[in-house]
Amino acid sequence: MPIDLTEALASLRLGRQSARALLSDNLAHADRPACAHAFLRRFDDAARATAEASDAAAARGEARLALGGLAISVKDLFDVAGQPTTAASAAMDDAPLAVRDAPAVARLRAAGAALMAHTNLSEFAFSGVGINPHHGTPRNPVTRAIDGLERIPGGSTSGGAVSVSAGAAWAALGSDTGGSLRIPAALQGLVGFKSTARLVPLEGCVPLAPSLDTAGAITRSVRDAALLHAVLSGAPAKLDERPLSAWRLAITPTFMQDELEPAVAVLFERALATLRAAGARIEERTLPALPRVAELQTQGGITASEAWAWHHARLAERGDRYDPRVAVRIRRGEAILPEAYQALLDARRRWIVDMTAAMSGIDAFLSPTVPLQAPEIAPLLSSDDLFLATNTRLLRNTAVVNLLDGCAISIPCEHPGELPVGLMLWAPAMHDRAVLGAASRVESALQAARRGTRAPAAAAGDR
């Protein structure tokens, strides 16, 4: 595994590195072509001041804060004091400077994060593809290193994921309404954790659909995901380290595995075989309520209705400054009458009850994070129909979890030289600790398979 935030923090504690030196390396990576279009505004001077303050505290014998003065990027949906928040939209380019940090940002800052930039995204976070016509589209640096093609980064937290995969940041603060953390993480070989939404405050964040929006992080490892979740939510950071065989895992044969690209199906089945060989108990369980998710997604459903409520006045004044592909999907909400919207919310509540009951006794379900590998950008730029179809496919599996009000994590399951796709572990609301704990053991087993070694056993006291 490449060095992650946890390992970098350990290096700081042992005095082998300084926060300033690590930050300088991050900022050098941010200047490289791999990060083109990833950032909307950089905070280099403020980040250096934070890193230097961390080093000075350590020199005085004080303990470093949890994030140690290391680089974290922030999606341009979250208020950063003294900076505008524009949601990567030309319709917001005259936004005032934020008076205070969004609570999620404030928690990162209080934990010692060197906030290094506002990152690019799909305009107003309304796409799983990651294309932005206003500020340019970040290219996927991981897939480009494999096959040289210009592929999508995934969205909507496109720039945030690129900042991590290209070495400019150790983690990225982002949002997830239907998969916007997990999709770019999956397509770039990273870890994306969507917590139970209520655990992290969303004040000071430009909303897409408040009923579904979640704040969280993209990281390089599951242990980093647990650390960032602890900072953002106040949850304990220690992972449950029971052995893989102690976790009850399941797959569901319908919907989540439908119409997978052949390469995705192969990687998913190989991951399951690897986990079973490592001792995992994986049962097959039918979720009869799962296909009903389609009725909640009709014509954008809840997302379009809630987006329209926030955007309709701005669209009337500045509709010509929106990405047309975003505007057309927001405008679908205009046709959803209040009684129809309420019916959708009522149907969602019933669906959550049914789904939660059917998932009882399982620590986490396993599925492909996305049903396809990262497609090339050029065809999507030239065809609205292909773009919309691709966006719908990318969001299909991940959006289930948001509608469930659940929690989920995407972890890499590919081997070196293979295009990333991601393995998703997911569960109902407030099962965050179980999902993170199970994911840690799954991650270890998959990494061991990539190395051709056995996964490390849990300590005797954990059995």
Looking at the DSSP assignment, which residues form a beta bridge with residue 41? 118
d(CA 62, CA 326): 49
Cα–Cα distance between 182 and 192 in angstroms, integer? Answer: 5
Which residues fall within 8 angstroms of residue 129, CB to CB, at 6 or more apart? 122, 152, 154, 155, 380, 387, 390, 391, 394
**Residue 68: helix, strand or coil by DSSP?**
coil
**Residues paired with residue 74 on neighbouring β-strands, in sequence order:** 118, 173
Q: Which of 368, 351, 366, 352 is nearest to 258 (CA)?
A: 368
User: What is the distance between the alpha carbons of residues 229 and 408, in angstroms, rounded to a whole number?
Assistant: 12
- Spatial distance between the Cα atoms of 428 and 154, rounded to a whole number of angstroms: 24
Looking at 75, 233, 440, 444, which residue is catalytic?
Answer: 75
What whole-number distance in Å separates Cα of residue 244 and Cα of residue 264? Answer: 23
Name the catalytic one among 54, 158, 180, 440.
180
CB 393 within 8 A of CB 368: no
**CA dist 19 → 47, 129, 173, 386 (Å):** 10, 34, 19, 45
Based on the residue annotation, tell me whether 75 is a catalytic residue of this protein.
yes
CB 102 within 8 A of CB 205: yes
73, 89, 127, 156: which is the annotated catalytic residue? 156
Active site residue 180: yes
Report the candidate in 91, 309, 137 with the shortest Cα–Cα distance to residue 208: 309
Q: What's the rounded Cα separation, in Å, for the pair 169 and 165?
A: 8
Both tokens assigned to 275: 């986990």
DSSP 410: E
Phi, psi values for residue 84, rounded to 5°: -75, 155
Q: What angle, rounded to 10 degrees, do the helices at 44-59 and 19-30 form?
A: 160
**Residues acting as catalytic residues:** 75, 156, 180
